[in-house]
Amino acid sequence: MSLKQFTTDFRELAQDSFLRSDEKYHVFLNSSDWNLFGNKDKDLVALRDILIDDYQNFKYDEGEEYKGIPTGQTYLDEDGYIKSFDLVTAEDHPGRLKYRVSNDNILISSLRLAKSPALYFEKEYLAGYVFSNGFYIYKVKEGWNKKFLLYILRTKRLKSILDNNIYRGIGISAYKDDDLKKIKIPLVSKSTQDKIVARIEPIEKRIKELKNQITPPQEVINEVFAREFKFDLKKFEELKNIKNYYLELSKFADNRDIRQSVKFHREAGAFVIDQSKKVTNKKIKHFLAEPIVLGKGVSPSNYDENGDYFYVSMANIKNWKFESEDSKLVSNEYSKKNQNKTVAKNDILIARSGEGTIGKVALIDDEDLKGIFADFTMRVRLQNYAPLFAYYYFRTEYFQYLVEVNKKGLGNNTNIFPSQIQEFPMIDVSLKNQQKIVAEIKTELDAQEEMNRKIETERNKIDEIIEKLIQHARYQPTPERFYSP
């Protein structure tokens, strides 16, 4: 593993209000281009000279329900639009969702790797939403077009700087407000900003039109399984909304853990089991090639960028597939000791912990992938069963709801275990029928992916417009020139 070196002095460390001493930050500031930057940046302006803090603490009304956007990466899409929210009350989430925003605001996520680092709202789009302290909330000073500022912040160039240099911490790392405001953008006239926005707005419109033609993968999978196996999704949704119900005491003895939680005894959960019994009398354990096992823990000393095996964590499968981009390599010594925790083609990994991730699955479809799966995931190996059919079934609303009602623990520290998963119902139809259903779902999902590629092409056009603006500025367009110490 190569060693990066740089030289600095304590005076430079002391310039930062948080006394940052991490390597990634100071290598960034001490690059050769940075030294050439000097005072030649009259055509740039720092965000601290554009943005004004605008936090409005929001008081919940007792008994009222609100659309909450908590800290997390799954609630906003790449274009800064809300795609999901939690219904919250003061009783359920005291103090969790703190801020109500207005149409005058611009929001910047404090989380590294957020799909869209910045978002804003027009007209009544914000109505009814409250946000967590995982967002910085600002107003934009006069003389600046708010949309122009957002287009700049969403470019791949600036997002790369945020994700690779400015963040602090490990795990769910974040950006500090002080660091965000040091970022510099091109200083251009208001009339030029307006012209650029006018060029980009039709592209935004096309992106919205393409998005309206997309059916989310979850809906595609649900609809096919519901049709094929007579799942009553409408009734299921109605039961999910029931919050008050009565149980006989004998019901608490129906499970070996004598579970008494409201969640475990929800009527919707019992409905899923009843509907599944009409389709199958088999369970996952009846199709296992070997017992379901948990993965292996890892320590920082086990990582090695020269290793041959990826460490497959919960974070690497949170988007329903294995993503190697943020997966670290482990040492060959570590992987040699843990060959019983490796993945193979057609393995299915299930996240067993973490709110927002628990229950998510990934199918290993790369025969050449070398990976050790994490202790907070479990490996499922099936026999006489189509892996892709099982993967799609595990993604259905029914299966995911069984995870929801069976998981154990409090707050974010919830878990589900192999002994529970193996008892879940497993659809028992012929391999021929499985392949037929897989082909239908895959054809539809491929069509949706083609639509996503068209959207990405349109997004790239926005980036190209901003890049041309940067290239015409009177400085060398390197990442370092976007930042001010």
Residue predicted with more confidence, 352 or 15:
352
In the three-class reduction of DSSP (H, G, I as helix; E, B as strand; rest coil), residue 396 is classed as coil
DSSP 45-102: EEGGGTEEE---B-PPPTT-EEEEE-SSSSSB-TTS-B---EEEETTTSTTTEEEE--
Domain with CATH 3.90.220.20 in the chain: 47-214+455-482, 218-427
* CA separation for the pair 7, 329 (Å, rounded): 28
DSSP 198-264: HHHHHHHHHHHHHHTTPPPHHHHHHHHHHHHHT--HHHHHHHHT-------GGGGGSSTT----TTT
In the three-class reduction of DSSP (H, G, I as helix; E, B as strand; rest coil), residue 380 is classed as strand
Backbone angles phi and psi of 410, in degrees to 5: -125, 150
Q: What is the pLDDT of residue 84?
A: 73
Residue predicted with more confidence, 109 or 195:
195
* CATH class, 47-214+455-482 region: alpha beta
Q: Which fold would CATH assign to domain 218-427? A: Adenine-n6-DNA-methyltransferase TaqI; Chain A, domain 2 (3.90.220)
Backbone angles phi and psi of 467, in degrees to 5: -60, -40
Q: Kindly tell me if the per-residue pLDDT of 37 is higher than 50.
A: no
* CA separation for the pair 444, 245 (Å, rounded): 39
* CA separation for the pair 175, 25 (Å, rounded): 12
Average pLDDT of the chain is: 80
CA 368, distance to chain mean position in Å, is: 26
Instruction: With cut-offs at 50, 70 and 90, classify the pLDDT of residue 182.
Output: confident
Beta pairing, strands 65-69 & 129-132: parallel
If you average pLDDT over residues 308-312, what whole number do you get? 93
In the three-class reduction of DSSP (H, G, I as helix; E, B as strand; rest coil), residue 303 is classed as strand
Instruction: With cut-offs at 50, 70 and 90, classify the pLDDT of residue 330.
Output: very high
pLDDT tens track for 119-153: 666 655 655 677 777 788 888 899 999 889 888 88
Q: What is the pLDDT of residue 398?
A: 92
Q: Kindly tell me if the per-residue pLDDT of 192 is higher than 80.
A: yes
If you average pLDDT over residues 452-472, what whole number do you get? 86
Give the tokens for residue 264. 């475990």
If you average pLDDT over residues 23-41, what whole number do you get? 46
